[in-house]
Structure 1
Amino acid sequence: MASVDSHQHFFEGTEKLLEVWFKSSEGRDLDLRTVQKSDWDKLLELVKCEIISVASSPEMDAYVLSESSMFVTQDRYILKTCGTTTLLYCVEPLLKLVKDKVGFDVVGDIFYSRKNFSRPELQHGVHQNFENEVQELDKIFPNGSAYTLGRINRDCWYLYTLEDEGVTQPDQTFELLMWDMCPEKMKIFTQEMCKDGRDASEKSGIVDIIHGMKMDDFLFEPCGYSMNGLLPDGCYITIHVTPEPHCSYVSFESNVPQETYNDLIEKVLDVFRPGKFLMTIFANKASIARDTHKTLETQENIKGYRRSDHQLCCFKNYTLTYNQYAKSSAKSQRSTTTGQFARPVI
């Protein structure tokens, strides 16, 4: 890859992640997937991103975006955006759209999360710091709670959710956020090495992480990669890669239910070989993943990585486990995070 000026070509790979569960106060059988693509297009204009492609399963519509991904099920909406997108500006319009077009009039639960940005000063409006994001969400949700996990003077992870019991059906989310990436692995996610998204998926080994996926993958110009993978029963995985050497970053997210995620963790790490990563596992009481925190409590090492932080949060219906690891031989460094659609540059 050609060298670039980090000040001119920096890209913030760290995503803002919003997940909203909807209900009907009258118990009506409603479906978010009846919202038209044109309505989603208008909503995403507020976020400053757009739809590239869509793949569907009987339970879910998955959209690859110009900056990350969007997922829509019968009663859940997930929006994940990177770069300098303005995700929180769509929350109130989203609630209005869903009420007017679908009929859902109750928010069953909400999760807004992100890692700390590498260059927060480049974000727009409320996204320059978490305190402002919390104030924005508190205007909409009077029963919200905000948390910081990790080290506030190093790498950390923010969460906003509701105090209520929330989702009672089986639900879990597993996330690996990785940085200080292996340069050789990152070269795969450039048009210098691969002709398209599928080529990158195969050469990197992403196709072998979970078999049986319906994949929708995309390789950006000149570099950068996004993939949504659909699995039976409303399960998904989504991967996003920022390969530039000075701001390399990869995210992996899935709601696949497992009693332990050890095998999946090792597969993902083998594909990407990060210098550092943080892991979060959300699981509610009905999920088979509800006891994963017990295994992780004593797991100080993972195949060449040593744990630096471990935290457990217990909410009314969910357990959240947070862990951060670094290569055992790597020197401690302060994080630097940082992609046809061209990768935006600033």
Structure 2
Amino acid sequence: MAETEIISSSENNEQFFEGVEKLIEIWFTPAKNADLRKITRQQWENVLKIVRCEIISFTQSELVDAYVLSESSMFVSRRRWILKTCGTTTPLRCVRAVLSLARDVAGHSRVHNVFYSRREFARPAAQLQPHDNFDSEVKLLDSFFGDGRAYIMGPEKDCWYLYTLLPLEGTVDALEKEHCAANELLEPDQTIEILMSDLDPAVMEIFTRQYSANAAQATRESGIDKIIPGMVIDDFLFDPCGYSMNGVAKDGCYMTIHITPEPACSYVSFESNVPVSCYEEVITRVLQAFRPNKFVLTVFATPDSPGAEAARQLKKFPALGTYSLLDGQHCRFAGYSLQYALYCKFPS
């Protein structure tokens, strides 16, 4: 996280950083020879200037390019673009530029679907427009895509916001026919997010320069390298504190973790599209690594993906280890199901 994003509180001399991220994901309809990875690094850097962040490091597999940013991460594959940024960044301001590059450079002229989501900010008033309120975010997204749907899930202080776009053809069946004509089928897709707050101070200390000499030490001592084995890890430890990592696998799977360790505002996010039919083991590893007091869990999955079964299983979990379920919702969208849950640690 960039030092310019840290806010000092004169009341108690504690430093604050908004760890909650804004996450936007755009899928494009398959087109012959179209590939978002044709967009150059310099062009991405120009886009990220609009967002108010920059590229720190880069890694890739055959199927996905992964960028660690000064505020979180960006992933680029053939027809999917993901941008996840924390602090007071402005990711929605860059959407128009991304759509132009997708059309003019990558050969993608049609949007298949859009997902924009975030937790409630700790300090929403500190955000820059349009991110100071969800209504403004939705208004801007609608100016780009027109046919979006906005949802709010969970209790007020821990709510989770979602904007998603129905497929332009109106039905999944119509899109499947279109994709078959292009010699491509709809890809099974699933994404799990675990958004954690109020974390164990002893764990958070690992992600400071005072404790860890480098990112590799923090990755190893926290157990991050064992959450999803087989990932090629690109990690970064900020000075004086803070941590980001991307992991990529040969099959196109990714994982990303971002950590704000300051005691007054500790926050950790975990995200992956790893295709498993049961997320319980992954969730357990994440919770054991970071030991949050509270977390939001979301699972998006297409009906034909392994993650669809995982989402159904989560509906049956009134508790996860030492955590009790405070709120849960299940929704169906065009071609996707969503499981949302809010968990809190049992009183000791």
Task: Answer yes or no: same fold by TM over 0.5.
Answer: yes
Return the match for 2:161 from 158, 162, 169: 158
Deviations 1:185-240 (A, max 9, x none): 00000000001111100111111111111000000010000000111211000000
Aligned to 1:194: 212
* Partner SS for 1:295: helix
8 Å Cα contact 1:226/1:239 also seen in 2: yes
Which residue is 2:26 aligned to? 20
d(CA) in 2 for partners of 1:294 and 1:89?
35
Deviation at 1:5, TM superposition (A): 4.9
* Equivalent residue number for residue 33 of structure 1: 37
| Deviation digits for residues 2-35 of structure 1 (CA, Å, limit 9, x no counterpart) | xx954673100000001011125xx312111111
Q: Name the CA distance, whole Å, in 2 between partners of 1:66 and 1:98.
A: 23
- Aligned pair 1:320/2:338, yes or no? yes
Deviation of 1:248 after TM superposition, in Å, equals 0.2
Partner amino acid, structure 1, of 2:162 = L
- 1:118 aligned residue (113, 116, 122): 122
Mean Cα deviation higher: 73-82 or 163-172: 163-172
Partner of residue 181 from structure 1, selected from 176, 199, 216:
199
| Residue in structure 1 matched with residue 294 of structure 2 by the alignment | 276
Matched ranges for 1:193-272 at <5 A: 193-272=211-290
Task: Give yes or no for contact 1:57–1:230 (8 Å, CA) kept in 2.
Answer: yes
Q: Percent identity?
A: 50
Structure possessing the higher relative contact order (Cα contacts under 8 Å, 6 or more residues apart):
1
Instruction: Quote how far apart the aligned CAs of 1:249 are.
Output: 0.1
Match of 1:289 in 2: 307
Larger proportion of helix: 2
Whichever residue aligns with residue 213 of structure 1, its letter is M
- Is 1:141 the equivalent of 2:159? no
The alignment status of 1:306 with 2:306, answered yes or no, reads: no
Q: TM-score, normalized by length of structure 1?
A: 0.91
Matched length = 324
The secondary structure found in structure 2 opposite 1:266 is helix
Unpaired runs of at least 5, structure 2: 1-6, 176-185
SS at 1:118's partner residue? coil
CA contact (8 A) 1:188 1:203 kept: yes
Superposed displacement of residue 292, structure 1: 2.2
CA–CA distance in structure 1, aligned partners of residues 194 and 149 of structure 2: 23
Pick which of 165-174 and 240-249 moved more: 165-174
Q: Distance in 2 between matches of 1:274 and 1:221?
A: 23
Work out the CA distance in 2 between the residues paired with 1:234 and 1:311.
29
**Mapped partners of 2:9, 2:347: distance in 1:** 26
Structure 1 spans left out of the alignment, 5+ residues: 331-346
SS in 2 for 1:125: coil
Q: Deviations over 1:87-122 (max 9, x none)?
A: 100001110111111111000111000001000000
State the partner residue of 1:334.
none
- SS class of match (1:289): helix
The two structures have a TM-score, normalised by structure 2, of 0.91
- Does residue 46 of structure 1 match 2:50? yes
CA RMSD across the alignment = 1.4
Task: Give the counterpart letter for 2:88 in structure 1.
Answer: T
Output the CA distance in 2 between the equivalents of 1:22 and 1:109. Answer: 7
User: How many Å apart are 1:278 and its aligned residue?
Assistant: 0.7
- Matched-pair contact (CA < 8 Å) for 2:300–2:311: no
Q: 1:90 to 1:18 in 2, by over 3 A?
A: same
